[in-house]
Structure 1
Amino acid sequence: MSKKNLPLRRRNSDSEIIGYRLPVFHGTGKKVYVDFYAYDPMRGELRRKKIHLDHISTKVAQRRHAHVLISTLTEKLLSGWNPWCDAATSRGFTPIETIIEKYKEYIGRTGRKKTQQCYNSRCNILEEYNSTRLQPIRYAYQYDKAFVIDFLDWVLLDRDSGARTRNNYKGWCSAFGEFMVQRKYIDSNPAEGIPKLPEDSKFRQPLTEQMMRKLHRHLKQEDPHFLLAVMMEYFTFIRPTELSNLRLRDIEIKEQRVFISKEFSKNKRDGYVGLNETIIRTMIDLDTFRSPGDWYLFGKGFVPNPEKAGPDQFNKRWVRMRKKLGWGKEYQFYSLKDTGIRDLANSEGIVIARDQARHTDVSTTNRYLGVEKSVHAETKSFKGAFEENQNL
Structure 2
Amino acid sequence: MEKVSINDLNEWTYPVLHSGKEWYVDFFAYDPARGKMRRKKFMLDRYKTARAKKTIAAELIHNLVAKLKNGWNPFVNAGRTRLFTPWAKVMERYRQYLETAVSKGQLKEKTAYDYRSRLRQLELYQEETGNTLGQVSQFCREWAVDYLDYLLYDKDVTARTRNNHRTYLSTLGAWLVDRRYLTQNPIEDIRMLREEEKHRDPLSERQLQQLKEYLNEHNPYYLLACLMVYYGNIRPEELRNIKLGDISISDQKITVRSEISKNRKTQSVGLHDEIVRLMIRLHTFDGTADQDYLFGRDLRPSREQTYINHFRYEWQKVRQALHWDSRFQFYSLKDSGIRDGINAMGLIYARDQARHSDVAVTNLYAKPSHEPHEESKHWDGKL
TM-score normalised to structure 1 length: 0.67
Alpha-carbon separation, structure 2, partners of 1:164 and 1:300: 32
1:354-369, aligned counterparts within 5 Å? Answer: 354-369=351-366
What is the CA deviation profile of residues 194-213 of structure 1, one whole-angstrom value per residue up to 9, with x for unaligned ones?
A: 34445555232222222211
With over 3 angstroms needed to count, the CA separation of the structure-2 counterparts of 1:189 and 1:370, relative to structure 1, is: farther
Aligned position for 1:377:
none
CA apart distance, 1:271: 4.1
Which residue does 2:310 correspond to in 1? 313
Residue identity in the other structure for 1:101: R
Q: CA deviation at 1:232?
A: 1.4
Offset of residue 227 of structure 1: 1.0
Distance in 1 (CA, whole Å) between partners of 2:59 and 2:361 is 67
Q: For the structure 1 residues 168 and 52, does the alpha-carbon distance in structure 2 shift closer, same or farther, using more than 3 Å as the test?
A: closer
Aligned-residue offset at 1:243: 2.2
> Mapping of 1:88-103 within 5 angstroms?
91-96=82-87, 98-99=90-91, 101=95
* Equivalent of 2:241 in 231, 240, 245: 245
CA distance in 2, matches of 1:41, 1:341: 55
Residue 278 (structure 1) shift: 1.9
Partners of 1:180 and 1:193 in 2: how far apart? Answer: 16
| Range moving further from structure 2, 63-72 or 308-317 | 63-72
Q: Distance in 2 between matches of 1:132 and 1:329?
A: 25
Alpha-carbon contact 1:134-1:310 (below 8 Å) kept: no
For 1:59 and 1:306, locate their aligned partners in 2 and report how far apart those are by CA, in whole Å: 62
> Which residue in the other structure is 1:233 paired with?
229
Other structure's SS at 2:285 match: helix
Question: Deviation of residue 334 (structure 1)?
Answer: 0.6
CA distance 1:271–1:89, change in 2 (3 Å): farther
Work out the percentage of aligned pairs sharing the same amino acid: 39
1:386 alignment partner in structure 2: none
Query: What is the alpha-carbon distance in structure 2 between the residues aligned to residue 83 and residue 326 of structure 1?
Result: 50
Aligned to 1:133: 129
Question: How far apart in 1 are the matches of 2:110 and 2:55?
Answer: 58
Residues 80/321 of structure 1: CA separation in 2 closer, same or farther (3 Å cut): closer
Q: CA deviation at 1:111?
A: 5.2
The alpha carbon displacement at 1:23 in A equals: 9.1
Q: What residue number does 1:303 align with? A: 300
Q: 2:323 maps to what in 1?
A: 326
Mapping of residues 62-101 of structure 1, within 5 Å: 91-96=82-87, 98-99=90-91, 101=95
Q: Is the alpha carbon distance of 1:176 and 1:214 closer, same or farther for their aligned partners in structure 2, counting shifts above 3 Å?
A: same
1:90-239 to 2 correspondence within 5 Å? 91-96=82-87, 98-99=90-91, 101=95, 104-105=98-99, 108=102, 110=106, 119-199=115-195, 201-239=197-235
Q: Answer with 57-66 or 203-212: which moved more.
A: 57-66
1:332 deviation in Å? 1.2
Q: Which deviates more from structure 2 when the two are superposed, residues 213-222 or residues 149-158? A: 149-158
Q: Separation in 1 of the partners of 2:329 and 2:251?
A: 31
CA contact (8 A) 1:237 1:356 kept: yes
How has the CA–CA distance of structure 1 residues 353 and 317 changed in structure 2, closer, same or farther, with 3 Å as cutoff?
Answer: same
User: Aligned equivalents of 2:26 and 2:250: distance in 1?
Assistant: 62
**Aligned length in residues:** 352
Task: State the AA in 2 paired with 1:152.
Answer: L
CA contact (8 A) 1:236 1:357 kept: yes
What are the within-5 Å matches in structure 2 for residues 329-348 of structure 1?
Answer: 329-348=326-345
Counterpart Cα distance in 1 of 2:48 and 2:284: 71
Distance of aligned partners of 1:287 and 1:181 in 2 relative to their CA distance in 1, 3 Å threshold? farther
Q: Would the aligned equivalents of 2:71 and 2:82 in 1 still touch at CA under 8 Å?
A: no
Give SS of 1:227's match.
helix
Change (3 A) 1:58 1:243: farther
Shift of 1:166: 3.2
Deviates more, 1:263-272 or 1:330-339: 263-272
- Asked if structure 1 preserves the Cα contact closer than 8 Å seen for 2:163 and 2:193, the reply is yes
Q: Deviations over 1:139-188 (max 9, x none)?
A: 43332223222222233233434434434433443333233233333344
- Shift in Å at residue 223 of structure 1? 1.9
**Is 2:344 the partner of 1:350?**
no
SS at match of 1:245: coil
| TM-score, with length taken from structure 2 | 0.68
* Alpha-carbon distance in structure 2 between the residues aligned to 1:70 and 1:201: 58
Change (3 A) 1:142 1:254: farther
Q: How far 1:305 moved relative to its partner?
A: 4.4
Q: 1:384 maps to what in 2? A: none
In structure 2, the CA distance between the partners of 1:62 and 1:272, relative to structure 1 (3 Å rule), is: farther
Could you tell me how far apart the structure 1 residues matched to 2:240 and 2:76 are? 36
Structure 2 CA distance for partners of 1:137 and 1:300, relative to 1, 3 Å:
farther
- Aligned pair in 2 of structure 1 residues 50, 253: CA closer, same or farther (>3 Å)? farther
Q: Distance in 2 between matches of 1:309 and 1:93?
A: 33
